[in-house]
Structure 1
Amino acid sequence: MNEPIRLLLADDHEVTRAGFAAMLADCPEFSIVGQAVDGRQALELCQRLNPDIAILDIRMPQLNGLATARLLREQQPSIKVLLFTMYDSPDHLEAAVNAGAVGYLLKDASRQEVIDGLRQVAAGQCALNGMVSAQLLRRVVQRNQGGAPGSALTPREHQVLGLIAAGLTNREIGEELGIATGTAKAHVERVIGKLGVADRTQAAVQGIALGLVAPLEHRA
C-alpha cells in the first residue's frame, strides 16, 4: 500500500485549519502531519517534518505565505507549495507563481476541487484556479501588446513544455518524443530560458497559468 501524501497546513485561523482537516478526514491518501499558525512556524515544522506539500494561506502574521513559499523554495525545494487563499486576483496568482508555488486554490473551492488539486500537485503537476489564471493570461497578453505569451517557443518546445507540465523527467520526455535524453535536456533548458523562469517547475506553472499548455496525465 502506498504511503499517504504528507501535508503541512499553515493558516492563522483555527476554524480554517479544522475545516480543511475535516474535509480530508475520510481520504486515507492524505495525512496532515503538522499545522502552523504563521509562516515562521510553518518553516520550522517543514524543517522538522519534511512534508510532501505545504499548504499556505497568503495572509499570515510573522511571515506571509508568499515569503514562506520563497524561503521554502530556497531551503527545501523538494517540498511542493500550494497557496490556499481567499484572494481571487491575478496579482496574487502571479506573485504566488513567482514565489515558487505550484498550486493556487481559492477557499471557496469545492471539496473535490481541493482533493483534485492536491493530487495534481503530488503527481508533479500544477493546480491553478482556472478563472484567476484566465485573468492573468489576459493581463500578460496586454502587457505584451497583443503578442501571445510564449510565442518565441518552437513547436517542439511547446511539446516539451506540455510534457514538463505533465511531470515527466528528461529521460521520459526523450522516450515520449523519440529523442536522446541529452537532446530532451537541451530543449528543457531552452524552454526555461525563453520563459524567463528559474527551473522546470516554474516553467510548468507559467505554461499552465498563461494558457500555453494544459496539464497532461503522467504516463506510467
Structure 2
Amino acid sequence: MYKIIRVLLAEKNSLVGVGIRATLNLEEDLILVGETNDVSKLAKLNLKFQPDLLIIDLDLTNFILAKLIADLHELCSYSRVLTLASSDKFDLSILKINGIKGCVFKSEEPQTLVSAIRAVAQGNTWYSQTIIEKLIQQQIGKQDENVEATLTEREQQVIGLIAQGWDNARISVELSLAQQTVRNYMSRIYTKLAVNSRSEAVIWAIKHSLGKQHEKVQI
C-alpha cells in the first residue's frame, strides 16, 4: 500500500509544466491537486488544498523567494518546498533559505523529479549531484578543516545521519534521543560549523566524508 502524495505546482505555464503534469499522471502515488502561475495566490491555494508538497519554479517573476517561503511557513508550518531551476541561472544562495528542502534542474530526467518529490514529501532533502558539486566547488559555508575534531562523537553521528537524508524524527528513533535533544544537537552543530541551514551542514558533512552519498544525491 503506497502513501498518496498531494502536490501543488507554481510554474509559469511552460512546456516544462506540461512535462511535469504528464510525469505525475504516470505515478499512482502522486496527485497534482492544484497549480498556478501567480505566486501571490500560492499561500491561499496552499491553505485550500493543504498539499504534502509545494513545487515552485524559480523562474517565476515578481517575488522574493525568502519572503515567500517565510510567509508560507507562517501560514502552514508543515509546508515542504521543492524548487525547480534552470541550470544556467541557478543561484546557490537559495540553498541557504530555511524551508527549501530540495532543488531539481528542469533539464533532468522525469524520474529524478519523481524521486525528489517522494524524498521531500517524506521529510528528507534532495539535491542533484550537479548541485552538490557546484556547492563544493564554490565552498558554500567554507569551514576550517580542523572543525571535525571539535564535533563530539554524538554530533558527528547526528550530522552523518542528516547527510544521508534522515529527518529529526527518524534520527531521534535511531539514536534513542528525544526530538528536542536532536534539535539541540543541531543547534550546537550549526554554531560550531558557522552555518545557517541544513543544506550547508549537509555539504560540510559530504566534504568531510560523513554520511553516505547516493547517485542523484538524496541528502
Letter of the 1:108 partner, please give it.
S
Task: Indicate which of 154, 157, 171 corresponds to 1:173.
Answer: 171
Q: What is the aligned length?
A: 208
* Structure 1 length-normalised TM: 0.78
Equivalent residue for 2:74? Answer: 74
Write out per-residue CA displacement over residues 88-129 of structure 1, whole angstroms, 9 at most, x where no aligned residue. 56x623324325211111001111111111111112111112
Structure 1's unaligned 5+ residue stretches are: none
- The whole-number CA distance in structure 2 between the counterparts of 1:59 and 1:19 is 16
- The whole-number CA distance in structure 2 between the counterparts of 1:108 and 1:216 is 22
Equivalent residue for 1:187? Answer: 185
Contact 1:102 1:127 survives alignment (8 Å)? yes
Instruction: Show the 5 A alignment for 1:1-220.
Output: 1-63=1-63, 65-88=65-88, 92-140=91-139, 143-144=142-143, 147-148=144-145, 151=148, 152-164=150-162, 165-169=165-169, 172-177=170-175, 183-196=181-194, 202-203=197-198, 205-210=199-204, 211=206, 213-214=210-211
Q: Please tell me the root mean square deviation across aligned C-alpha atoms, in Å.
A: 3.1
Q: Quick one: percent identity of the two aligned structures?
A: 24
Q: Which has the higher contact order (CA 8 A, sep 6+)?
A: 2
* Structure 2 length-normalised TM: 0.78
| 1:142–1:163 distance in 2 versus 1, CA, 3 Å | closer
Q: SS at the partner of 1:104? A: strand
Structure 2's unaligned 5+ residue stretches are: 215-219
Instruction: After TM superposition, give the deviation of residue 12 of structure 1 in Å.
Output: 1.2
| 1:48–1:216 distance in 2 versus 1, CA, 3 Å | farther
Contact 1:102 1:126 survives alignment (8 Å)? yes
